[in-house]
Structure 1
Amino acid sequence: MKIVTWNINGIRTLRGGIQKALRALDADVVCVQETKVTRDLLDERTAIVDGYNSYFSYSRGRSGYSGVATYCKDSATPFAAEEGLTGLLTNHEGAVGCYGDQCDFSSEELQMLDNEGRAIITQHKIMCEEKEQTVTVINVYCPRADPEKPERKQFKLQFYRLLQCRAEAILKDGGPVIVLGDVNTSHLQIDHCDPTDTDDFGENPGRKWLNEFLHQTRQTDDQNAEEPDCVNDGKFVDTFRYFHPTRANAFTCWSTLTGARQTNYGTRIDYIFADCRLVQQFAGADIMPEMEGSDHCPVWGKLSCSLLPSSKPPPLCTRYLPEFAGKQQKLSRFLVKVDQKSVLVEQINSLPGSQEEGEKRENLIPLAAESISGKKRLLVSNSVVSKSKKIKTVNPPLKPQGSLLSFFKPKHTKNKQPEQDHCLNKVTSSLLNDQNPLTTTNTCSDKDIIHKEAEPSSGATVESLKDIETKPLPPQPSEGQSNTKNGGSSGFWKSVLRGPPPPPPCKVHGEPCVLRTVKKDGPNMGKQFFVCARPQGHSSNPEARCNYFAWVEKSK
């Protein structure tokens, strides 16, 4: 059994789509975070992937924010799946259960903790050492502690405590547990690119929680970590450090703004945690920094256990959603009046209970637009359905418009000659092609052009034609002349409209700097500055950017 976790930083912007990524990862269970997709934005190509069954959790408060999803191969179909950690989003069969003691949280806090779509839980049957077991996979995207928002720091710690409460409750129930995803905290100093620049590294509240949640293994250079002696204390093990206790510079997240991935100046904040019993069944675990497409890289773990797939996916599976189950694809539903009460009764049972009431109303009433347009929509649909009634058009169809030459061509009279019409067509076509009619080769003489009569409504008069003869168009410049004029005009505009000044060179490398803008709230909001163009890196790395900094001076 191979499992993978990956923060993809937007599932709709993933290169080649999610199907290509799943094939490249080649895992039985793929857990992705930060999908940035809500139910109304979820398309069939993302939700229904051939050979997989998927389970999504969406943010209820913001669009394009947070969100997690778990993709399972058909050979690894879970028998239970649930959205969230609190149980408030689940009221259907196939739930995981075991919620633990939540007395330390108020009902409002529990609702808020599950409101951002940060957890999906699936349960699978595995065969380990000729014994059938139930393994629970908890896919989480832990919040980020925004230093400018103290309430988010508290929110992050509450989410950690709720995650621990749920994981330990499932573990006490007797089944092995895997917690994986983006935890948004680097655990040890070896997991950080520059821990010496971080004050009070071990005093970070997130690291304190990790020290409490994880079993600390002894790190040695010549062998793997010691066998964890934490079977009875309910703690978890970092599978990567279990197999690579002393590997340095093993990071999973880099800043894209500073190009830090080029210098491997990052942190390890994506993990696969397993309980102490189950970690001994792991055959390996590692990171995949070569996999691009996000500011994170995937992390994989492999168990020496075989999977026993369920014959049917649980109700949370996206293939059961009405928009993907074919229950809203019939055209007759939009043309024939349907009893909305029966529609609600039919579809309310098929929707998973993880949706809010607002989302239910949006997805349960496919004919909601009909009630908005009122009787007018009903009249149109009735007219389409009824074959005996004919639809009457109010206005006759418009006549097709002619070509542009028809506006220059006079109306035909009995006295007009065909050859004169041919001559005028030559003149008008030459005008449209920016040619001189006098230099254009034609079969009519100049006298024929002068004596050509035209009606005023046609747009061409005798006087205008005389002007064409007596005032020929200026000669077209040659290719060399046109280039000279264009060059002169561009030089003139460059002298008048001066662009921004060239960026200054940095003091260390002598290379042109890059322009940045302050986006942080404060007195410098919106101000621009120059910094070294090289990627961010450790101060000891000569290839990293230097400390050059200069504000952009406003022109007077």
Structure 2
Amino acid sequence: MKLVSWNVNGLRACVNKGFVDYFGQTEADIFCLQETKLQEGQINLELGEAYTQYWNYAVKKGYSGTAVFTRIQPLSVRYGMEENEEPEGRILTLEFDNFYLVTVYTPNAKRDLSRLDYRVEWEDRFRSYLLQLDAQKLVIVCGDLNVAHHEIDIKNAKGNLNNSGFTPQERGKMTELLDAGFIDTFRHLYPDRTDVYSWWSNMPGVRARNVGWRIDYFLASTRLGPKITDAKIDCDILGSDHCPVILELDLT
């Protein structure tokens, strides 16, 4: 089974930069998006009859939003993790026979850290939600988690200490999540691989010099570890300030 996740930073713009061609090349069983930045009816995406499309739109126009395109039919679909939660379209959960798939666009703490307290509280709720799912079935989590977990996951660790996405609070919440029974699939296979990132600032020359952050992940229930056959970061794919991340599993 092949799963792909990509923060497209505006799907309409990404479509104009080759998204559909890349989508076809991946031949993914499940393809997840974050930051679609559109409302219902604003795009007609032709991906072929094999794929069913699920969308979670933010109420605020041009903001956030997630989507899942799957050729495996889910048993159920859930939008968000709680009723009456902030309607930012950040989470989609698809239930399959043997596992739950959760795609997520984690809230950003903001440059001035004005949303850090909210982010920390949100992380606690999200971890609790995942553990509830994990008690029922295996769980795969993918998306933009908006945190570089360790110094190996960011080019300039020293210069970014206490910056949004690399604060002790955010990194600590990632540690808590993994310690609760999940694995970072890329680090599970490649614990020492350096200079592999999934997001780069739009400042001139930053991506060309590979001054990046690894903030896009596939996490999985720890007991899925033996089923992981590969985890990749498609660093050469343009179209967004993020690149796609890929997980391959043998669930037979």
TM-score category (smaller protein): over 0.9
Q: Which residue of 2 aligns with 1:50?
A: 49
Checking the alignment, whether the CA contact within 8 Å between 1:10 and 1:37 is kept in structure 2 is: yes
CA-CA distance at 1:167 after TM superposition: 0.5
Q: Which residue of 1 aligns with 2:74?
A: 78
Q: Which residue of 1 aligns with 2:246?
A: 300
Amino acid at match of 2:135: K
Checking the alignment, whether the CA contact within 8 Å between 1:58 and 1:68 is kept in structure 2 is: yes
Distance 2:121 2:66 in 1: 19
Distance 1:70 1:165 in 2: 22
Q: Which residue of 1 aligns with 2:190?
A: 244
Q: Which has the larger radius of gyration?
A: 1
2:111 equivalent among 147, 153, 156: 147
Q: Which residue of 1 aligns with 2:27?
A: 26
Checking the alignment, whether the CA contact within 8 Å between 1:147 and 1:153 is kept in structure 2 is: no
Q: Which residue of 1 aligns with 2:85?
A: 111
1:364-410: CA deviation from partner (whole Å, max 9, x where unpaired): xxxxxxxxxxxxxxxxxxxxxxxxxxxxxxxxxxxxxxxxxxxxxxx
Structure 1 residues 55 and 149, CA, compared in 2 at 3 Å: closer, same or farther?
same
CA-CA distance at 1:279 after TM superposition: 1.9
> Residue 280 of structure 1 aligns to a residue in which SS?
helix
Amino acid at match of 2:103: N
Amino acid at match of 1:121: T
Q: Which residue of 2 aligns with 1:275?
A: 221
1:515-537: CA deviation from partner (whole Å, max 9, x where unpaired): xxxxxxxxxxxxxxxxxxxxxxx
1:478-526: CA deviation from partner (whole Å, max 9, x where unpaired): xxxxxxxxxxxxxxxxxxxxxxxxxxxxxxxxxxxxxxxxxxxxxxxxx
Structure 1 residues 296 and 200, CA, compared in 2 at 3 Å: closer, same or farther?
closer
> Residue 164 of structure 1 aligns to a residue in which SS?
helix
CA-CA distance at 1:252 after TM superposition: 0.4
Distance 1:290 1:179 in 2: 23
1:213-240: CA deviation from partner (whole Å, max 9, x where unpaired): 114xxxxxxxxxxxxxxxxxx4100000
Amino acid at match of 2:3: I
Q: Which residue of 1 aligns with 2:131?
A: 168
TM-score, normalising length from structure 1?
A: 0.43
Task: Give the number of equivalent residue pairs.
Answer: 249
> Residue 148 of structure 1 aligns to a residue in which SS?
coil
Checking the alignment, whether the CA contact within 8 Å between 1:57 and 1:118 is kept in structure 2 is: yes
Distance 1:15 1:167 in 2: 31
Q: Output aligned runs, 1:372-391, within 5 Å.
A: none
Q: Which gives a bigger RCO, structure 1 or 2 (Cα 8 Å, sep 6+)?
A: 2
Unpaired runs of 5+ in structure 2?
A: none
CA-CA distance at 1:80 after TM superposition: 1.2
2:96 equivalent among 124, 138, 142: 124
Confirm or deny that 1:157 pairs with 2:120. yes
TM-score, normalising length from structure 2?
A: 0.92
Q: Which residue of 2 aligns with 1:64?
A: 62
Checking the alignment, whether the CA contact within 8 Å between 2:39 and 2:61 is kept in structure 1 is: yes
Q: Which runs of 4+ in 1 moved over 6 A?
A: none
CA-CA distance at 1:259 after TM superposition: 3.0
Checking the alignment, whether the CA contact within 8 Å between 2:20 and 2:47 is kept in structure 1 is: no
CA-CA distance at 1:155 after TM superposition: 2.2
CA-CA distance at 1:25 after TM superposition: 2.1
1:433-468: CA deviation from partner (whole Å, max 9, x where unpaired): xxxxxxxxxxxxxxxxxxxxxxxxxxxxxxxxxxxx
2:142 equivalent among 177, 180, 195: 180
1:404-441: CA deviation from partner (whole Å, max 9, x where unpaired): xxxxxxxxxxxxxxxxxxxxxxxxxxxxxxxxxxxxxx
CA-CA distance at 1:148 after TM superposition: 2.9
Q: Which residue of 2 aligns with 1:7?
A: 7
> Residue 110 of structure 2 aligns to a residue in which SS?
coil
Unpaired runs of 5+ in structure 1?
A: 89-109, 126-133, 216-233, 307-556
Of Structure 1 and Structure 2, the greater helix share is in 1
Checking the alignment, whether the CA contact within 8 Å between 1:68 and 1:117 is kept in structure 2 is: yes
